[in-house]
Structure 1
Amino acid sequence: MYPPKRIRRKLDNAALAFPAAAGKKDSRVFRVYCSLNEPVQPRVLQKALEQVILKYPLFQCRLKRGYFWYYFEPSSIRPVIKKEKGVPCSAMYSPGRDNLLYQVTYNLDSIHLEVFHALTDGTGAFCFLADLVKAYLRLLHGIEGEETAGAGTQEEQEEDSFSRYYSPVRTAVQIRKSSRAYQMKGRKVAQADMKIMEYTVSVKQLLQQSRACQVSITVYLTAVLLQALSRKMTEVQKKKPVVVMIPVNLRNYYPSKSMTNFFGWMEIEYRFHKKDSFEDILLHVKKRFSEELLLEQVAFRMNHYVRIEKNLLLQYIPLGIKNFFIRLGTGLGSGNVSAVFSNMSAVRMPKPYEPYIRRFGVISSTDKLQMCACSYRDTFYFSITSKLEDVSVQEDILSFLRAEGFDISALHET
């Protein structure tokens, strides 16, 4: 029923590092979820999943290890929903384990989709989740309407857009070269004890404030995060920049319908001094966004990593050796970043479904600190996950926003 007739396929450029980098410190799993205005009916949800997965064959696969590269292989494993019992974003991939790379769970009134990042990115996951929720509500309430607006053909879903839009021609120069960034210090917790804090605020409030500052919501919150990260820095630590990594959805630049990973990233840095005001940080972040989000810079960064993948010498290095250097490079690269902020923007659903949905959310595993955000109607949601016991950065973000007049509602704090 589930395995379509297709051959194995290679991992996209962004996915190549995830199998090697996943481990006890970071599962490389993220969760997107939908909170409803009524309890979840498990049997209906299972039926909805069985309908939707037929339109997303990309998800029905397992990760296999080859001699030179990892690859995806079609799987006949039946996806089965489960009641949530464990910790969000728990490990999903381990070498030799024969399992799917996604899992649908539920609790009282929420539907969760957890994904190993090698399979897809946040855009692909939200597309799948939205169609799953629509299928569930159609079965439960007899809603008539479109079935899967987001699902393209199998070829479109599985397209490696990195390779398709790669260009060997270098048309730009790198604006900022990576350097060692400030790292938060303190006792770290295990993956199972990851700190998870979730909050909501009005979209209208955020828009009003950010527009008054003549910036986007993402620019505004990046500046808030940078400021919070700096509050515990010593004078010696201020010799290093605070750097926030921002994922960039490449579908905004290239006409891709791929459901595989298709994202890049930019690094927004700030060097703190004694008299920096929030306005100083905000102006700097606004300038850096305008520079980094130009198509020439986005393409430069994407082409750089695809060029490495396509290196003929690298093609024939055994996977075990590749993994060693991938882990080494991932570790070194992590030292160039202080935290991550991923804004998935607005999730939209057709009007017949709106009365049944309260909000959407997203949580990500991390090896340091990561803020994730999305919005639905007038609810702006953000989560902060961290492997540090110290939650002073999170508290500083909240206290600053509340001092600015935002009505913050806490959903979950561990």
Structure 2
Amino acid sequence: MRVSLKEKQIHWEKLDNTANLFPAIAGQNTTNVYRISVTLTEYIEEGLLQEALDRVLPRFDTFRVRLRKGIFWHYFETNSRPAPLVRLESEYPCRYIEPYANNNYLFRITYYKCRINLEVFHVLADGMGGVNFLREITYQYLRLKYAKLEHDESDEFSDETSMNTEDSYVKNYKKSHKKGYHTKKAVMVKGEMLLAGEMSVMHGYMPVTELKEACRKYDVSINEYFTAVFLYSIYMEYLHGQPSKKPVAASIPVNLRPFFDSLTTRNFFVMVSAVFTPDRENIPFEEVVSIVRESLRGQINKEHLEELFSYNVSNQKNIFLRFVPIFIKILAMRFVYRSSAKANTTTVTNIGNIKIEEPYQPYIRHFHAMISRSTGQNIKGAICSYQNTMVFTITSVLADVSIQRRFFRMLAEDGITVIVETNGAVRED
């Protein structure tokens, strides 16, 4: 039976600082939609999944909203419509979410065989918020499906799930006059494109223990290692190991919660960039690893991260900009975004290790994360892990898959056992 949300009081809420950008730039080609998926041990039952969503959504204020356009800013309003319909997956991932065809919600739930997919318009939340929502839907689904888990059913969410919805950008803002982001043009990976709406997906599954061994060899973190391998794969396959005046750069989202003691389920991240400029032919991988390590470690500290988001918040707080009509703000944000987007070749995001309560673990195989293309970035990487399995997912709208092949081959050469799975969007020779 569908659950009505009409008894909930309608209220409005400001978008967080980062979220203000997404409605201004989102469209069919730059959807700003990410996907987090969970694969269970048995096929999904659509009716039970719908019931699970219907039960969880009324208590998840972050996702129970619609987007409105005001005179000066976009804002959220409580959405009293029934939850969107759960559907069998029939399209490529991370497609644009059309609110009017989705009960005005800004997320969708689909399934395929044993997999549940949550796709989220980034205006709602970052990866942590998405993980919270998907985890609670999964718990609820498993309780409905398996009698032995019924005793665990309650109105309380799991200990891992935060319901905090504060704007942590504003809470932790400090006055800053420094511009946080550089806009030097980076290498853009171009080539024959897939058909409109199509996306190539490659998952690489690997043991966390073997991955950590490879990281120890180079004295780097998992993030630094993956970023270096990805950039090096672009350098060798797209630039063919040749010099370039433009840098090869990866945009890296940094979760700010550990630095500022935040539990918010809304967006709370900033972007830093790992950059190296190929100034000669055939730079060895070890040198690129060192450059990436020093580049990231020099940026990922509380003081620098605070400067990055405080600069953005200061613009939002500017008394003169605050009362500029929204249509002018949208034009300005699009211009700034297009300029800054040219500073990165790709994005590599890591949503971390996903923790599941012990009673539910036997029913879950693994998780995936993936992100959509954006202006100038036709190939991207996303990382997540569950128990001892790490999954690196490469999404691309390019027909050529040589970068992907190089990436996974380099992991194997470093002693990592990799199992590769694709969605078949590209036929490999």
Q: TM-score range by the shorter chain?
A: over 0.9
Counterpart in 2 of 1:32?
Answer: 36
Counterpart in 2 of 1:251?
Answer: 257
Mapping 1:317-328, distance limit 5 Å: 317-328=324-335
Question: Structure 2: where are the runs of 5+ without partners?
Answer: none
Counterpart in 1 of 2:61?
Answer: 57
- What's the CA shift for 1:212? 2.4
- Output the CA distance in 2 between the equivalents of 1:169 and 1:57: 32
Counterpart in 1 of 2:5?
Answer: 2
- Output the CA distance in 2 between the equivalents of 1:102 and 1:268: 30
- Is the 2:108–2:119 contact (alpha carbons within 8 Å) kept by the matching residues of 1? yes
Selected match of 1:122 from 123, 127, 135: 127
- Output the CA distance in 2 between the equivalents of 1:216 and 1:300: 24
- What's the CA shift for 1:148? 2.7
Counterpart in 1 of 2:308?
Answer: 301
- What's the CA shift for 1:41? 1.7
Q: 1:168 to 1:107 in 2, by over 3 A?
A: same
Counterpart in 2 of 1:73?
Answer: 77
What amino acid sits opposite 2:261 in the alignment? P
Give CA-to-partner distance per residue, 1:364-405, whole Å, 9 cap, x none.
111321100100011111111122222221121122122222
What amino acid sits opposite 2:281 in the alignment? K
Counterpart in 2 of 1:398?
Answer: 408
- Output the CA distance in 2 between the equivalents of 1:397 and 1:194: 18
Q: 1:351 to 1:396 in 2, by over 3 A?
A: same
Mapping 1:5-404, distance limit 5 Å: 5-79=9-83, 80-93=85-98, 99-141=104-146, 142-143=148-149, 144-145=151-152, 147-153=157-163, 156-157=164-165, 159-169=166-176, 177-231=182-236, 232-233=238-239, 238-272=244-278, 273-367=280-374, 368-404=378-414
What amino acid sits opposite 1:375 in the alignment? S
What amino acid sits opposite 1:244 in the alignment? A
Q: 1:140 to 1:399 in 2, by over 3 A?
A: same
**Identical positions, percent:** 30
- Output the CA distance in 1 between the equivalents of 2:141 and 2:319: 47
- Output the CA distance in 2 between the equivalents of 1:327 and 1:189: 25
- What's the CA shift for 1:200? 0.8
- Output the CA distance in 1 between the equivalents of 2:348 and 2:224: 10
- Is the 1:39–1:108 contact (alpha carbons within 8 Å) kept by the matching residues of 2? yes
Give CA-to-partner distance per residue, 1:267-296, whole Å, 9 cap, x none.
110011224211111111111222111111
What amino acid sits opposite 1:393 in the alignment? I
Structure 1 residues 112-121 or 93-102, which shifts more? 93-102
Q: 1:125 to 1:175 in 2, by over 3 A?
A: closer
Give CA-to-partner distance per residue, 1:79-128, whole Å, 9 cap, x none.
12112122211110469986100111111111111111101111100111
- Output the CA distance in 2 between the equivalents of 1:192 and 1:267: 28
Classify the secondary structure of the residue corresponding to 1:14: coil
Give CA-to-partner distance per residue, 1:298-319, whole Å, 9 cap, x none.
1111111111111122111111
- Output the CA distance in 2 between the equivalents of 1:147 and 1:175: 37
What amino acid sits opposite 1:218 in the alignment? N
Q: 1:38 to 1:96 in 2, by over 3 A?
A: closer
- Is the 2:183–2:342 contact (alpha carbons within 8 Å) kept by the matching residues of 1? no
- Is the 2:182–2:340 contact (alpha carbons within 8 Å) kept by the matching residues of 1? no
- Output the CA distance in 1 between the equivalents of 2:170 and 2:133: 23
- Output the CA distance in 1 between the equivalents of 2:328 and 2:94: 28
Q: 1:136 to 1:175 in 2, by over 3 A?
A: closer
What amino acid sits opposite 1:53 in the alignment? L
What amino acid sits opposite 1:12 in the alignment? D
Q: TM-score of the superposition, structure 1-length normalised?
A: 0.93
- What's the CA shift for 1:335? 0.7
- What's the CA shift for 1:14? 0.9
- Output the CA distance in 2 between the equivalents of 1:274 and 1:18: 39
- What's the CA shift for 1:137? 1.2
Q: 1:112 to 1:118 in 2, by over 3 A?
A: same
Tell me how many residue pairs correspond in the alignment.
409
- Is the 1:182–1:237 contact (alpha carbons within 8 Å) kept by the matching residues of 2? no
- Is the 2:79–2:105 contact (alpha carbons within 8 Å) kept by the matching residues of 1? yes
- What's the CA shift for 1:350? 1.2
Give CA-to-partner distance per residue, 1:229-272, whole Å, 9 cap, x none.
11122788611111100000111211222111111110110011
- Output the CA distance in 2 between the equivalents of 1:356 and 1:391: 33
What amino acid sits opposite 2:200 in the alignment? K
